[in-house]
Chain A
């Protein structure tokens, strides 16, 4: 029974006047829509009681557009006009798409995103996705009996800006008001966290049709904190189908097959995979359009063998995510399984083995993301009950920092920091009388600016002239809840300030993030060496500057011979500083330091004398 709240006089809401909000899991293989009814998240079924809507869109020659099971049933007859797994094309160019050669579509490369030529004309992935979303909207409005206020749509954690934007555009095209895009693993955590009231550190292992995501989440007192994320945006159940498909071709010794046959075989491959979830073997018998017969038997052993590398491929990002969170597998209290592909026994086994415990799957892995999205949508639509003010924390995927002298990166906010976050660090001037400072904001894990991604540059002017190292410039990095970074530089004595705003997580694709992370690990020792070299070079430059400035002021303190020696040391260091022999630079710096020690002492004495000149003892 619904629970009522006390309204203001005359303001009692009529029943069923909740603002209708839904959560949509726009999946690669299947999509779902869910809502919250009387405090319970439920998946909305179609008129035949089916919860899943296959993410398949068919453009018919007669002008009709078919979505879901109907389209799926026709896919082997009309593969060119039946689009499956369109999510893989969202916000992607032709070169980004794997297995293009085995796809039956007529691709058209277009700037930004591919297009597909269908019998009804050229369609973009956004339009195709919009058909799926429209179908879900119609289903939701029919079952809820009213127009929707808005929807939360889930996306893989690593979707980049182009992919997220494409998803939003598709929703708008489908007549949906997007309340928020929510990361799929986070949605799963919401579904599990709220429904089960569990606390502790959890891993969300999400192997969907087309994407793999692993997230390490901390659930405590209704606060979700994403400790780290990782994944592979081109790995999913479809790849398992593809492996089986290739195995069938090989096993049945088939010549290259037509598009129709390829589609038919892929369907058979998927059926065989699903059969193996419950059974030890799956016969594959089919008559191809070419007249050939296929009659092979896929066993669990063979299936496990041919997909072993795919299973292993999920454990790499899993390890990395754990390492990022600073955790060992045994510190994970539970592993949440999401995505239909996690039903495969060898996945369950591999995950159980890695984490040393049986994974949690008490919610339907196909529905859990939609349920979480529905809960979030319900809150965002304003149907919140008193006390429902939980927080959702997210992390930044790559470190944020700025360029310091010598092209080095000073990390200000390390990656996987939870947002919102603000960090400040003090910097100083490098040269005497320096009145401006360039602030170059970069993102990445490498030590050198040239290996990181440049986000923004700005200048702080109006620093009062001071000797090098005396100015205090406070640089503050602030990332708000929407991932918007603002960097402020402020000179502490005058209060002069300059700032810039950037969106750090956007514009980087998952591949770029992954490769930047990988580079970071691979080049760690290399980078450490180069960093040490750059630091030595910067230090040497500073020493040369300081010596030359001292020589300009107090050259008379040196004899001709002494002066020649200092000049020699400076020249030697100047020659070495452009090279990459750090030891030689260090040695030359030592030599210069020794060679100027006496000079420095005399300068000190002179300065003391100057300061004391004409003053009586009492004045000091």
Chain B
């Protein structure tokens, strides 16, 4: 049971957190919506909720609420560049299919 960060993702998360000036880590999760059922949530975390599961990866805290974990367990958060566009990418082993744009998925 773990959620991890790739080296590139960790670098960028650390960078963003530092620029933002606050926050204890990032929160990964899922919510139901989108054309394929589920959508990822990627937010800064300012505080941990009591039930949160906290993972440490490359020195950074990753917070996941227990309801989301089954859907993203084993995920490695990566940072990728596509042309001029760059951003984070969920490498999620649980995904069966995703919508064309990849913003939502199904397990």
Bound together, the chains give a CA A388 to CA B90 distance in angstroms of 22
Q: In the complex, what residue of chain A is closest to B41 when comparing beta carbons?
A: A12
Residues from chain B with Cβ under 8 Å of A16 in the complex: 34-35, 101, 103-104
Minimal beta-carbon separation of B49 from chain A (angstroms): 11
Bound together, the chains give a CA A14 to CA B39 distance in angstroms of 7
A616 lies within 8 A of chain B by Cβ: no
**Interface contact B39-A3, CB-CB below 8 Å:** no
Minimal beta-carbon separation of A508 from chain B (angstroms): 36
**Interface contact B83-A194, CB-CB below 8 Å:** yes
**Interface contact B83-A39, CB-CB below 8 Å:** yes
Bound together, the chains give a CA A197 to CA B80 distance in angstroms of 18
Chain A 38-56: CB-based contact to B (< 8 A → 1; otherwise 0): 1110000000000000000
**Interface contact A7-B42, CB-CB below 8 Å:** yes
**Interface contact A15-B103, CB-CB below 8 Å:** yes
Bound together, the chains give a CA A222 to CA B82 distance in angstroms of 15
With contacts defined as CB atoms under 8 Å apart, how many contacts are there between chain A and chain B in the complex?
Answer: 92
- Contact partner of B43 (CB less than 8 A), chosen from A6, A15, A38, A385, is A6
Query: With A385-B86, A387-B84 as given contacts, are A14 and B33 in contact (CB-CB < 8 Å)?
Result: yes
Residues from chain A with Cβ under 8 Å of B102 in the complex: 1-2, 38
**Interface contact B44-A7, CB-CB below 8 Å:** yes
Bound together, the chains give a CA A568 to CA B21 distance in angstroms of 85
**Interface contact A6-B88, CB-CB below 8 Å:** yes
Bound together, the chains give a CA A436 to CA B19 distance in angstroms of 55
**Interface contact A3-B88, CB-CB below 8 Å:** yes
**Interface contact B35-A4, CB-CB below 8 Å:** no
Chain B 66-104: CB-based contact to A (< 8 A → 1; otherwise 0): 000000000000001011111111100000001101111
Minimal beta-carbon separation of B101 from chain A (angstroms): 5
Residues from chain B with Cβ under 8 Å of A3 in the complex: 80, 82, 85-89
- Contact partner of A6 (CB less than 8 A), chosen from B16, B80, B84, B101, is B16
**Interface contact B89-A1, CB-CB below 8 Å:** yes
Query: With A2-B103, A3-B89, A16-B101 as given contacts, are A9 and B45 in contact (CB-CB < 8 Å)?
Result: yes
A37 lies within 8 A of chain B by Cβ: yes
Bound together, the chains give a CA A5 to CA B89 distance in angstroms of 9
Q: In the complex, what residue of chain A is closest to B33 when comparing beta carbons?
A: A14
B26 lies within 8 A of chain A by Cβ: yes
Chain A 190-204: CB-based contact to B (< 8 A → 1; otherwise 0): 000011010000000
Q: In the complex, what residue of chain B is closest to A11 when comparing beta carbons?
A: B43
* A contact patch SS: loop
A8 lies within 8 A of chain B by Cβ: yes
Bound together, the chains give a CA A40 to CA B82 distance in angstroms of 9
Which of B31, B85, B89 counts the most A-chain CB atoms under 10 A from its CB? Answer: B85
A10 lies within 8 A of chain B by Cβ: yes
Bound together, the chains give a CA A40 to CA B41 distance in angstroms of 22
Residues from chain B with Cβ under 8 Å of A6 in the complex: 13, 16, 26, 42-44, 88
Bound together, the chains give a CA A66 to CA B39 distance in angstroms of 41
Residues from chain B with Cβ under 8 Å of A1 in the complex: 89, 98, 101-102
**Interface contact B43-A39, CB-CB below 8 Å:** no
Chain B 15-33: CB-based contact to A (< 8 A → 1; otherwise 0): 0100000000011000101
Minimal beta-carbon separation of A86 from chain B (angstroms): 35
A386 lies within 8 A of chain B by Cβ: yes
Q: In the complex, what residue of chain B is closest to A386 when comparing beta carbons?
A: B86
Q: In the complex, what residue of chain A is closest to B17 when comparing beta carbons?
A: A6
Residues from chain A with Cβ under 8 Å of B39 in the complex: 12, 14-15
**Interface contact A4-B27, CB-CB below 8 Å:** no
Chain A residues 540 to 580 lying within 8 A of chain B, measured CB to CB, are: none
Size class of the contact patch on chain A? 20 to 34
- Contact partner of A5 (CB less than 8 A), chosen from B87, B98, B104, is B87
Q: In the complex, what residue of chain A is closest to B16 when comparing beta carbons?
A: A6
Bound together, the chains give a CA A1 to CA B103 distance in angstroms of 7
Minimal beta-carbon separation of A21 from chain B (angstroms): 15
Minimal beta-carbon separation of B91 from chain A (angstroms): 10
Residues from chain A with Cβ under 8 Å of B13 in the complex: 6
Q: In the complex, what residue of chain B is closest to A222 when comparing beta carbons?
A: B84
- Contact partner of B104 (CB less than 8 A), chosen from A7, A15, A388, is A15
**Interface contact B46-A9, CB-CB below 8 Å:** yes
Residues from chain B with Cβ under 8 Å of A38 in the complex: 85, 101-103
Residues from chain A with Cβ under 8 Å of B27 in the complex: 9
Query: With A8-B44, A14-B34, A16-B35 as given contacts, are A2 and B83 in contact (CB-CB < 8 Å)?
Result: no
Bound together, the chains give a CA A3 to CA B91 distance in angstroms of 11
Bound together, the chains give a CA A16 to CA B34 distance in angstroms of 7
Q: In the complex, what residue of chain B is closest to A6 when comparing beta carbons?
A: B42
- Contact partner of B84 (CB less than 8 A), chosen from A4, A7, A14, A39, is A39
Residues from chain A with Cβ under 8 Å of B103 in the complex: 2, 4, 15-16, 38
Query: With A4-B89, A385-B87 as given contacts, are A12 and B42 in contact (CB-CB < 8 Å)?
Result: yes
Chain A 17-49: CB-based contact to B (< 8 A → 1; otherwise 0): 000000000000000000001111000000000
Q: In the complex, what residue of chain B is closest to A10 when comparing beta carbons?
A: B43
Minimal beta-carbon separation of A287 from chain B (angstroms): 48
Bound together, the chains give a CA A387 to CA B85 distance in angstroms of 8
Residues from chain A with Cβ under 8 Å of B84 in the complex: 39, 194, 222, 385, 387-388
**Interface contact A4-B87, CB-CB below 8 Å:** yes
Bound together, the chains give a CA A6 to CA B41 distance in angstroms of 8
Residues from chain B with Cβ under 8 Å of A37 in the complex: 101
Bound together, the chains give a CA A16 to CA B104 distance in angstroms of 9
Residues from chain B with Cβ under 8 Å of A5 in the complex: 42, 87-88
**Interface contact A12-B31, CB-CB below 8 Å:** yes
Bound together, the chains give a CA A3 to CA B78 distance in angstroms of 10
Q: In the complex, what residue of chain A is closest to B103 when comparing beta carbons?
A: A15
Residues from chain A with Cβ under 8 Å of B34 in the complex: 14-16
Minimal beta-carbon separation of A67 from chain B (angstroms): 28
Chain A residues 371 to 391 lying within 8 A of chain B, measured CB to CB, are: 385-388
Bound together, the chains give a CA A536 to CA B31 distance in angstroms of 82
Minimal beta-carbon separation of B66 from chain A (angstroms): 18
Q: List 26 A-B contacts (CB under 8 A).
A: A1-B98, A1-B102, A3-B85, A3-B86, A3-B88, A4-B42, A4-B90, A5-B42, A6-B13, A6-B16, A6-B26, A6-B44, A9-B27, A9-B46, A12-B31, A12-B39, A15-B35, A15-B99, A15-B101, A15-B103, A15-B104, A38-B101, A195-B83, A385-B86, A385-B87, A387-B84
Beyond A5-B42, A12-B39, A15-B35, 9 additional pairs, beta carbon < 8 A? A4-B42, A6-B26, A7-B43, A9-B43, A10-B43, A14-B34, A15-B103, A16-B35, A194-B84
